[in-house]
Amino acid sequence: MESLERFGQNQRVIEEFASRWLAAIPSDLGRLMHVAQFRDVSSGCYHHPMLEDNFSASSVHQALLYCHEELFEKILELPLEREERDLRSYLAGMDSPASEVAGRWLDVEVFRMWVPFGTPGYLRDLFLSNLRMLLGLILQEQSKLQTAA
């Protein structure tokens, strides 16, 4: 019975997190980045102060881990063209030009932080190589525009 109660609580955490914080984010990549920011990279635990006001820390951790893994898998399942559109859409909403952001992200590989812990190496490598390639395309386009001008 205890596991059924825990499942129900985790489901409520997921529903609240998805409806209050993820629903307003228009891109899959943006949602992945958002949930990843709640993970403490030292401990691997997910924390969300507002959710932890209403739910146990353990339930919040389990629910956000689940969301992180699901969003990551969703991005991996996207055709590369759709992933590119999603990335460009996300970058278009930023204050800095897309090529500048792409360059910074490639320099520090911030996108490594978006991979859930425990992800098999081949899936992590696929995700990272796809993002490197797409960000490289964005940089290359800007470079061509500057050369043509």
**């911030």: which residue's tokens?**
110
CB atoms within 10 A of CB 84: 16
Range of the domain at 93: 2-148
Q: pLDDT per position in the chain (149 positions), as tens? A: 455 565 566 788 889 899 998 999 999 999 999 999 999 999 999 999 999 999 999 999 999 999 999 999 999 999 999 999 999 999 999 999 999 999 999 999 999 999 999 999 999 999 999 999 999 999 998 766 666 55
Neighbours of 2 (CB within 10 A): 6
Q: How many domains does the chain have?
A: 1
- What is the per-residue pLDDT for 144? 63
Q: What CA–CA distance (Å, rounded) separates 147 from 125?
A: 32
Kindly state the tokens that stand for 129.
């190589």
At 102, give phi and psi (nearest 5°).
Answer: -60, -45
Instruction: Give the residue from 50, 29, 39, 37 showing the smallest Cα distance to 101.
Output: 29
